[in-house]
Amino acid sequence: MALSHEVVSVGTTATLLSAATAGRDGQTVLVQNPTGGADVKLGGTGVTTASYGYLLTGGTAFAIDLQAGESLYGVVASSTQSVSIIRQGV
């Protein structure tokens, strides 16, 4: 399994943050929203700004261990927000 990183531009519709393909045992995903950044709402494939599981405010980070087949998505209320992603197990 490998480690990957990238900057993802989160939009107003659900944006995939985890890798499209994961290792046999899933993956760990770390999402960092830069200081001064717009709020990013995190959740599953149906995440919206009104229905989300975690609020990632500017200047904060979130880590989650996903099982094989699980995906993490993000969404913002308007425009876009760039977040930094590190994935382990991809």
Segment 24-71, tens digit of pLDDT: 678 999 999 999 999 999 999 999 999 999 999 999 999 999 998 899
Amino acid in the structure at residue 2: A
In sequence order, the β-bridge partners of residue 73 are 16, 43
Residue 1 has pLDDT above 70, yes or no: no
Q: What domains are there in the chain, each with its CATH number?
A: 3-88 (2.60.120.770)
Spatial contact of 71 and 26, defined as CB atoms under 8 Å apart: no
Residues near 50 by beta carbon (within 8 Å), at least 6 away in sequence: none
Spatial contact of 72 and 15, defined as CB atoms under 8 Å apart: no
For residue 44 the two structure tokens come to 């599953």
Q: What pLDDT was estimated at residue 90?
A: 78
For residue 66 the two structure tokens come to 């996903």
